Amino acid sequence: MSKDNQVLEEFTSKEYEHGWTIDLESDSAPKGLSEEIVRFISAKKNEPEWLLEWRLKAYRHWKTMKEPQWPNVKYPAINYQDIIYYSAPKQKAQPKNLSEVDPELIKTFEKLGISLTEQKRLTGVAVDAVIDSISVATTFKDKLGELGIIFCSFSEAVKEHPELVKKYLGSVVPPNDNYFAALNSAVFSDGSFCYIPKGVRCPMELSTYFRINAANTGQFERTLIVAEDASYVSYLEGCTAPMRDENQLHAAVVELYAKKDAEIKYSTVQNWYPGDKNGKGGIYNFVTKRGLCAGDHSKISWTQVETGSAITWKYPSCILKGDYSNGEFYSVAVTNNYQQADTGTKMIHIGKHTRSRIVSKGISAGKSQNSYRGQVHILKRAENARNFSQCDSLLMGDQCGAHTFPYIDVENKSAHVEHEATTSKIGEDQIFYCLQRGIDEEAAVALIVNGYAKEVLKQLPMEFAVEAQKLLALTLEGSVG
Amino acid sequence: MLKIKNIHARVEEKAILNGINLEVKPGEVHAIMGPNGSGKSTLASVLAGREDFEVTDGSIEFLGKNLLEMSPEDRAREGVFLAFQYPVEIPGVSTVNFMKTALNKIREYRGQDTLDAVSFLTLMKEKIKLVEIDQSLLNRSLNEGFSGGEKKRNEIFQMAMLEPKLAILDETDSGLDIDALRIVANGVNKLRTKDNATIVVTHYQRLLDYIVPDYVHVLYKGKIVKSGTKELALELEEKGYDWIKSEMEVA
């Protein structure tokens, strides 16, 4: 047993491998938040008047709100006046292809093992790379353009497709939805916009890699995906951030809008800097993600692998408004050292015959705290709604915590709601069994953890699943042997 | 191949093995019998390197190397295989995936190239035939929802895949009906060569009808108190362990 503890200790004391910074000159706003800053951001981006007004309204509302206290996480108070709300890497001109992209940036991607060229060549993934709030490379755009698919940075969408942005921005997550959504609405810098026309099946996975770079820069990404009738899109979001001492605030908003018979699959692998092994530093990840199944027979599926951030506060949700619409949430959340995660989902059943499925796998190691918080709400008119929820927790060592907070509100008697929950520990017996077959501790833990998370990982697109598996192993393994 | 000299071992403060001596040569099958609590499974665990057991005295040499100095995974890589009495479940990990990981770790240790998917599957197909195991079982989560017989058959399949030099079967017959017992024993017999050795740990004689040992040792209170050929097992079956007990009390 003593050796086991030692092994677990080593697993859990691994330093973050993606810790470095790159030198990109920042074009930053001064610290702090005010109407002037909101105007500065909007002016910097040459935004139309209506968008500035939209931001200002959100800002004014935000000022009246209080930071939520209910999540099961602890952190020192955030000084919102000590944050830089806008920073863009300097670029001579908008690059036409990858060779025009800052080589420093390419180097960063290569360190992460996700070079754009490789991505292009091997996987055919169109990558919209976001470094410090401004998109610098967009690939495969022409090919998508032929199908009428719009996939571009948010700023570009505001310029090129203002009518679409105006129509759908805030339609799923209103600017006054919650504290962090309001903050994002006031100061969002950039993000991705995606529009799939009627009847079009997007032929490739659309992907964005987020990076957080300049010191003290809050990241306020905004993603909006609209799927017209009978269309399909699979969208990947992956991120990793450089090591630094001060906590960084990240408050993104993701809105998905699915019309009749449309399907949106949204996958995330999140690997932001979690802080060092003493709990110093790390990203605060306060994200609002929500999808609206607006049309009948529409479907929205969230898959997330969360390994990073000092604090994760995130509930990708589905509003099942259309009859026969379908919402899914698959999640693996790993916490190690002093990380805290309070994550889960909300499934709001409004339409008739709506279905939802929740599979949540928490893994806690070190001195971390991992909470699942999920709400299933069946409204009065939602005849024959169905929900299945499964919430499993896996503990490594005896100093971490796993918590489950399910909220179930059923207002219609025809509903079927099932909830299953388990808690287990990686057993000494399991590890010894692996050892006896010649598999060392490190590989054994990777094997067991990946097996545990398999149901979620298999939801990810192939190349992403491989990356996610490596990431899980990396997060939990140490320099054993 | 294996030289066990005067092994003493304890778990926490309780002495379980009190001076075991045993030598196993290539090609031999040794049966270790004994009443419950005599230390049979402890001996198997000590050989495999389980941490719960502390070796307080004695030495174990395996193929000229000091076994006690090796980590459990290195013992496995050197060719020691333990077929577990209670194989554990690993949800979400198929036997196929598990074996591929294990085999490649072992090959890496021995300086061999890792097997690609095709060669691995070819090898697997060959071993599936040998031990008569249903392939669909191998694609399921390791031991999860397996019957007692399926678990044991899976252990023998793993043994076939890893081709150990020394196989230790820990109470492999427990929980098996006669058909399963025969299949498992057939698998073990087919895997016998003049270069490998097997230690069969069992409480009952019936397994030895199928896996015929060259030597039988009776363990009692952490010591080998009687050794002989397969006839000893039959004698034990007839007279029961009380015979050994009373004989020991007299002595």
Q: What is the pLDDT of residues A250-299, one digit of tens each?
A: 889 999 999 999 999 999 888 777 777 777 778 888 999 999 999 999 99
B35 Cβ under 8 Å from any chain A Cβ: no
A440 Cβ under 8 Å from any chain B Cβ: yes
Indicate the SS3 state at residue A317: strand
Q: What percent of chain B has pLDDT over 90?
A: 75
How many other CB atoms sit within 10 Å of the CB of residue B26? Answer: 14
DSSP B88: P
DSSP A310: S
- Local confidence band at A110 (pLDDT 50, 70, 90 cut-offs): low
Chain A partners of B92 at a C-beta cutoff of 8 Å? 450-455
Q: Please tell me the predicted confidence (pLDDT) of residue A23.
A: 43
Q: What distances in angstroms separate CA A84 from CA A32, A37, A447, one per listed residue?
A: 6, 10, 42
State the Cα–Cα distance between residues A33 and A346, nearest whole angstrom. Answer: 31
> Picking from A193-202, B11-20, B236-245, which range would have the lowest pLDDT averaged per residue?
B236-245
Of A432, A443, A454, Cβ closest to residue B92 = A454
Can you tell me which residue has the tokens 């196929």?
Answer: B96
- Local confidence band at A337 (pLDDT 50, 70, 90 cut-offs): confident
Which of B86, B88, B109, B115 to probe the A interface (max A CBs under 10 A)?
B88
For B109-143, the pLDDT digits (tens) are: 999 999 998 999 999 999 998 888 889 999 999 99
- Of B102, B110, B83, nearest to B198 by C-alpha is B83
- Of A341, A302, A343, nearest to A460 by C-alpha is A302
Q: Please tell me the predicted confidence (pLDDT) of residue A136.
A: 40
CA angle B125, B129, B131 (to 5 degrees): 115
Q: What is the dihedral of CA B33, B34, B36, B39, to 10 degrees?
A: -80
Strands of the sheet with A299-306, listed across from one edge? A134-138, A126-131, A206-211, A232-240, A263-271, A299-306, A326-335, A355-364, A386-395, A416-425
B34 Cβ under 8 Å from any chain A Cβ: no
What does the pLDDT average to over B64-78?
96
Contact across the interface for A448 and B90, Cβ inside 8 Å: yes
B139 Cβ under 8 Å from any chain A Cβ: no
A454 Cβ under 8 Å from any chain B Cβ: yes
Which of A432, A442, A452, A480 to probe the B interface (max B CBs under 10 A)?
A432
Which pTM value belongs to this model? 0.80
A458 Cβ under 8 Å from any chain B Cβ: no
What does the pLDDT average to over A212-235?
79
Distance of CA B33 to the CA centre of its chain: 13
Q: At what angle do helices B178-191 and B148-162 cross, to 10 degrees?
A: 0
Residue, of A97 and A200, whose pLDDT is higher: A200
Q: Please tell me the predicted confidence (pLDDT) of residue A141.
A: 67
A242: phi then psi, degrees, rounded to nearest 5: -70, 160
Q: What percent of chain A has pLDDT over 70?
A: 78
Q: Please tell me the predicted confidence (pLDDT) of residue A44.
A: 82
Residue, of A463 and A159, whose pLDDT is higher: A159
State the Cα–Cα distance between residues A81 and A85, nearest whole angstrom. Answer: 10
Cβ contact A127:A105 at 8 Å = no
Residue, of A322 and A307, whose pLDDT is higher: A322
Q: At what angle do helices B230-239 and B241-250 cross, to 10 degrees?
A: 90
Cβ contact B214:B227 at 8 Å = no
Indicate the SS3 state at residue A463: helix
Radius of gyration of chain B (CA): 18
